[in-house]
Amino acid sequence: MPNLKASIKDVRKSKKRREQNLDNKANMKKAIKGFTVSISSADKKKAGELLSVVFKAIDKAVKKNIIHKNNAARKKSRLSKMLKK
């Protein structure tokens, strides 16, 4: 445990940030999962609508530095490729 007042505050801040990052990452993963489920059920129209939601979630994760922009580009590319098949 830290002894200095500033160090104690840093621990508190990093814990809060970690929880927020995990929440944002979970939201992104839920959106992707919903999209893949709709693809597997062969519902193209719903999958098309969900793709924009997934892209929005991925872009938010990039904006908040949760994932790297190249990782996001790869995910988007693979998901749109899944929709076209």
Pick the range with the lowest mean pLDDT from 3-7, 53-57, 74-78, 81-85: 81-85
- Is residue 66 pLDDT above 90, yes or no? yes
pLDDT confidence of residue 13: 96
CATH classification for the domain delimited by 5-84, as one of 1.20.58.110, 3.30.70.1050, 3.30.70.1280, 1.10.760.10: 1.20.58.110
Query: Residue 12 and residue 47: Cα distance in Å, rounded?
Result: 40
**DSSP letters along 3-67, please?**
-SHHHHHHHHHHHHHHHHHHHHHHHHHHHHHHHHHHHHTT-HHHHHHHHHHHHHHHHHHHHTTSS
Q: In the chain, pLDDT over 70 holds for what percent of residues?
A: 100
Taking only the tens place, the pLDDT of each residue in 18-47 is 999 999 999 999 999 999 998 888 878 888
CA distances from 61 to 2, 26, 81, 82, 83 (A): 31, 10, 21, 21, 22
Domain boundaries, the chain: 5-84
